[in-house]
Structure 1
Amino acid sequence: MIVAVLNRKGGAGKTSLTKDLGFAFADGGLRVLQVGLDPQSSLEVLAGLGFDTPPDRTVSRLLMPEEFGDAGPLERVVHETEWGTSLVPASKALATAERALGEAGRGGSAQRLRRGLQRLSTAERFDVVLVDCPPGMTPLTMNALIAAESVLVPTQLDFLSVAGLAVLTETVEEVREYDNPKLGYLGIVGTQVDERTRHAREIRAQLEQLFGADAGGALCRTTIRHSTKVRDAHAAGLAVGQLEPAHPVSGDYRELAQELAERAALDARLGVAT
C-alpha cells in the first residue's frame, strides 16, 4: 500500500505524522518504507541524514534515473532509521529534480515516482509506503498522487485548515478522474488537537458533517493531540512512541495505526501493543 501524506498547507504536521505513524506501524510488525518528497528535508533531518545525502542515494535517483548512469545498486537509495523503518530520503538536490520534472518534453514526468518504486520492488518488500509530500501542488506532489493508492491528510482543527481541504479534495478528485482511477482516501486526521478549546470542538463537528461516516467516512475517529513530547522526540531523533511509550500522544499514534490498518485490510498483520 502506497500512501501520499498530503496537505497543500504547510505546518499541518505531515512530517510528524509520517515519522510517528511509520513507527507505530513498524512497532506493530509491518514492513514500512518512508519516502521523502519534500525538498525542505525535514524528515531527513530528524533521521540524522541532514540535507546533503549524495543525490545517487536519495529519491532523486528514482525520479531522474537518466541523470545517474551506473551509480551502483538501486538499493543504495534505501536507508534505515532509528525508529524502525526504511527511508528513501530527499536532499537539497531534490529541488533541482523538481525543476527538471517541470520542463517541457521531459517524458513521463508525472510517472517517475511510480516507476521508481516499481524498480525497488516495494510492493513485494514493504507492507506500507508513506510518502512525505511537499506543501502545495507541485510536480513532486503530482508524482506522489499518481504513485499512491490512497491519500492521508493531516489537518489542524482551525478554520483556515478546513477551508483548504475543499481545494485539496478537488485536486484528489481530478487526479482520480484523469490520472489514477484507483486513488482513494485512507483518512483525514486531526493533528495537534487541543480538545479543550471550543473552536477545536466546533471544527471537529464541521469535519464530521463534511467527511464523517454519513459523508463518505474519510474522517478518522482518532485524533493526534497537541503535545510538547512530539518536539522532544524530534530533538532526540526518535519517534514519540520510543521516547515516551506510555504518554497519551503515543497512544494516539497506536490507535491511529490500528484504525488505518483496519481500513486498509492490514490489521491481520498489525500487532499493535496497547
Structure 2
Amino acid sequence: MERFRNILKRVDAVGWIVPALVVLVWLWLSASGQIPAYKLPSPVELIRVLADFASGGLGVTPYSGALWENLGISLLRVLSGFFIAGSLGMIMGFLTGRIPVLKRLFDPVIHLIKAVPGIGWLPIAIVWFGVGEGNTLFLMSLAAFFPVYVNTAAGAAAIPEMYIQAGQMLGAQGFGLFRAIVFPAAFPQAAVGLRLGLGVAWAYLVLGEVTGVTKGLGAIMSDARMLGHVEMVLTAMIVIAVAAKVTDFLLVAVCRRIYPRGGRGNESGI
C-alpha cells in the first residue's frame, strides 16, 4: 500500500490536463455528429471494443478476446529487438566514445547508415529476411540502435579527463576504470538513448508487423484496416501506447537500480 501511495505521489496531475481536454472535445464531436463514427468512433465505443478485445464475450469485433495473446507476441518482439539494439548500441557507444581510433573508424559509417529513413530499409529487409519475424526484428533492432549508440557515445566522450586521471591515480585500470569511472559518469546520457531506443522499437514494431506476420498488435491493425474496423485500429493504437509507457516506466526503474545516484532532475529522467 505504501508503494502504491509513493507511485501516486509521483503522478503529475498537470500532465493529465491536455488528455482530458482532448477526450472532452472528442466526446462533443462524436455526440454532435460532426465526425462520422466510421471515421472516428466515440470514446465510449472504444472502451466497449477494448473491453471485448481484452475479455471476449461481447462479440463486438472479430478480435474478441485476442488482446493478451497478441500483446504478448508483440511485447516479446519489442524486447528482443530492444535487447539487440541496446547491447550493440551501448558497446559500440562506449568504445567509440572513449577510443579515438575506433570513433574515426566506425562513427562516420554509422552516421551514414543512420541517415537512411527506417522505412527505406523495408524493401531490402524483406529481400534479406523475407516477410515475417526476421524482417520485423531487423527493422526494430536497426532503428533502436542509433539513439542508444549516439547518446552512449556522447556521454562517454563528455567525461571530464580529470575523472579518468583521478581513477588512475587511485589504481583503477582497464575494466576496473570503466566500471568505477566511465560507466557511472556516462550512464545518465546512455539512459536517454535507451529510453529513446525503446520508444523507437515500439514504433517500428508496427512497421514490421503490418508487412506479413499473422499475430501481433500491428498485424491486427493492418487486418482491421482492410476490414473497415476503424475502432479496432484505434484500440490497438491505444494498447500500444499504454504498453510502451509501461515498459518505459519499468526501464526507468531498472536504470534507477543500476544508477541510484542519478536523481530525478537529470536529463535521463532516472
Using the size of structure 1 for normalisation, the TM-score is: 0.21
Structure with the larger strand share: 1
TM-score by length of 2: 0.21
